[in-house]
């Protein structure tokens, strides 16, 4: 999985799902989706449509947790626009870091 700004959308989605699996909040997952740039919500929508509702583990059939996380991202991040707010916050944080770096640079 790539970490850079040019990482594929699916890598950022995978990161967001992993964040939710670790029990972290939607805002942190929204930051991962925000870094995907562009069509992450459309990809999440397609994933939601194709992922099965249930999976088989051994002899048991259980709910597909990955699909539940994709649904949470769609409803909690994409529908609510949290990814847009996170994108703005990430940009502001980046600008502030550059300002701080500039101030610390000796003249």
In a domain, 2, yes or no: no
- Between CA 13 and CA 2 the distance in angstroms is 11
In a domain, 81, yes or no: yes
Q: pLDDT tens digits, residue range 87-103? A: 777 777 777 777 777 77
Q: pLDDT tens digits, residue range 15-36? A: 999 999 999 988 899 888 888 8
- The domain in which residue 89 lies consists of 9-104
Say how many domains are in the chain: 1
- Between CA 86 and CA 51 the distance in angstroms is 26
Percent of residues, the chain, with pLDDT higher than 90: 43
In a domain, 56, yes or no: yes
Q: pLDDT tens digits, residue range 42-63? A: 999 999 999 999 999 899 999 9
């Amino acid at each position: 999985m790539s970490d850079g700004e040019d990482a594929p959308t699916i890598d950022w989605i995978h990161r967001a799902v992993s964040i939710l699996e670790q029990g972290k909040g939607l805002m942190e997952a929204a930051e991962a989706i925000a870094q995907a740039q562009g069509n992450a919500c459309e990809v999440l929508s397609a994933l939601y449509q194709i992922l099965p509702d249930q999976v088989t583990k051994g002899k048991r059939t259980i709910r597909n947790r990955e699909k539940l996380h994709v649904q949470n991202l769609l409803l909690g991040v994409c529908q609510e626009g949290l990814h847009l707010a996170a994108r703005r916050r990430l940009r502001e944080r980046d600008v502030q870091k550059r300002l701080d770096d500039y101030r610390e640079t000796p003249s």
